[in-house]
Structure 1
Amino acid sequence: MTATAAQELTTEQLQAILEQRLAKEKEQQQAERNSYESLKHTTVTTLGTAAMELHEAMIKFKEQAFNEAETLYELLQKYSKRHADGKGTFTVQNADGSMIMNLKKHQLGRFDERSVQAEKHIRDFINNRFSGDQDVIDIIMGALERTKGFLDVKQIQRLYQMENRFDDHNWKEGIRLLKESWTPTTTKDYLSFTVNGKPVVLDFASI
């Protein structure tokens, strides 16, 4: 509408045109809102349903995978005449080597007050035996470092591997007390798969 034509219209006519335009804009906004609300509902419902189905499938797969991996692990222990102590790493592959399964068994627990006495014995040992060798002292004492007051069982296991290396009373007592002070609480198992050299990522956040 030109300015001249608009001037020829009455106030009532202009008001009617304005109301029609506002009504069309409101109608368009409502249509866009309805479209968005419909797409939002469909998207969230579809993805949410798929997520729940995937979640249930992952739960079933986890139970199946760990049960079958544990069965195979126990069979290997029996077949190899090894005591099934529930610790260690278990890696197997299929016939052509294209698929690999890795089961890590990590035992959780804590060292009690006897570990403090064990540390004193080990300190006495290294101070007497390696007083001039700071590198050896750092290596052994590094395994006894505490994080938030707790020893790291993986580091302590390094000392266990050297148990028979030194014939010394303090050393032997230290290792003995460390072993006796350990109380296992639970076992945390991790299961992973590799196919054609590539890890199969089952963690949604890591994909």
Structure 2
Amino acid sequence: MKKNENQEPTIEELEEMLAKKKADKRNAQERERKRYEKEKDYVANNIFSLAKQASEFMADVKKTCGVEMNKMAAELENYGKFPVKSKGGFSIDNAAKTVRITRTRDTQPHWDERSEKGAQLIKDFLADSIKKKDKDGYEMLMELLTKNEAGQLEYSRVMVILQSEDRFSDARWHEGIKLLKESYSIHMKGFGYRFKFKNANGNWETLDMNFSSL
């Protein structure tokens, strides 16, 4: 029997229509999820692959820099009549003077356990003898003994104190400076490299090559 077009749908038919709409919506959402995840997977893999290639290339560049600049360091050492002891830092230019490569020493300052006592002796002296007389001077000197985020004293700041060794006659001041000097050492991490080129205006520009983590 043919259904009358004006006849209201039955509850079963409404439920069937609602179920179909829900299923269509779920299917659309699933297709969208798969499309998104496929695109995300492609982008992540593609970018990571490029980054990995770049990292490997940069590592090769640094290795080549080490080999070739070591050769140049030996050539430089042997050039001329009188060899000199170099600490490793030098620059070379091409014949046209348009390209420059600089090798630098990558070092890390270190203060051993004696620095703790040395700094404390100086702080005790400053608190007893300087704080009341010269508050600004006291705060400045105390700031020079402040540690950085790595828990190390800052070499440039401590040097200000070391260069002022004769400023006070107190035994704690001198003993503190002595301990600071004895506690300091430099650890050689390796060599760093800087690259420069002359632009169209004849000015030097730096080529951004970060080897610090390689």
CA-CA distance at 1:77 after TM superposition: 2.5
Q: Pick closer, same or farther for the CA change 1:179–1:72 going to 2, 3 Å.
A: farther
Distance 1:97 1:13, change over 3 A: same
Deviation of the 1:203 alpha carbon: 3.3
Cα distance in structure 2, aligned partners of 1:189 and 1:154: 24
- Write the letter of the residue equivalent to 1:15: E
Unaligned 5+ runs, structure 1: 117-137, 161-177
Structure 1 outlier segments of 4+, above 4 Å: 106-113, 153-156, 178-184
TM-score relative to the length of structure 1: 0.58
1:101–1:191: 8 Å Cα contact kept in structure 2?
A: yes
Deviation by residue 1:124-169 (Cα, 9 ceiling, x = unmatched): xxxxxxxxxxxxxx9xxx9xx555374727985xx99xxxxxxxxx
Could you tell me the TM-score, scaled by structure 2's length?
0.57
Distance 2:20 2:182 in 1: 88
Identity of aligned residues (%): 22
Give 2:90's aligned residue. 90
1:190 aligned to which of 185, 189, 192: 192
Distance 1:70 1:10, change over 3 A: same
Q: Please tell me whether the aligned partners of residues 102 and 194 of structure 2 are also in contact (alpha carbons under 8 angstroms).
A: yes
Larger relative helix fraction: 1
- Encode CA deviations 1:50-96: one digit per residue, 9 max, x unaligned: 22222222111111112212221231132143423324x41222122
Q: How many residues align?
A: 158
Whole-angstrom distance in 2 between the partners of 1:179 and 1:33: 64
User: Which runs of 5 or more residues in structure 2 are unaligned?
Assistant: 119-136, 164-179
CA contact (8 A) 2:109 2:155 kept: no
Q: For the aligned residues, what is the CA RMSD? A: 3.9
